[in-house]
Amino acid sequence: MKRIRIDDGAAQVLDDLADKYNGTKSGLASEAIRRGCEAIEEELDGDDDSND
């Protein structure tokens, strides 16, 4: 599996969330990416519906 780089601001948010909810940064990053991809997909699917 490849590693991805995130900017310092996103890394700080992950650190804060991991501390607050006793999670891991990698788990939180994976969840954030999954949710972001789902949101993007829904948005793109919504665009397709408006053209029908």
Q: According to DSSP H, which parts of the chain are helical?
A: 8-21, 25-50
Distance of alpha carbon 51 from alpha carbon 29, whole angstroms: 34
Q: Which two tokens stand for residue 25?
A: 């940064």
What local confidence, expressed as pLDDT, does residue 36 receive? 92
Q: What is the three-class DSSP state of 33?
A: helix
pLDDT for 3: 82
The 3-state DSSP class for residue 23 equals coil
Find where tokens 């972001």 sit: 36
Residue 26: what pLDDT? 86
Q: What is the pLDDT of residue 37?
A: 93
pLDDT at residue 47, as a whole number: 65
- pLDDT of res. 39: 94
pLDDT in tens, 2-52: 888 889 998 899 899 999 988 888 888 889 889 999 999 999 998 655 554
In whole angstroms, what separates CA 2 from the centre of its chain? 16
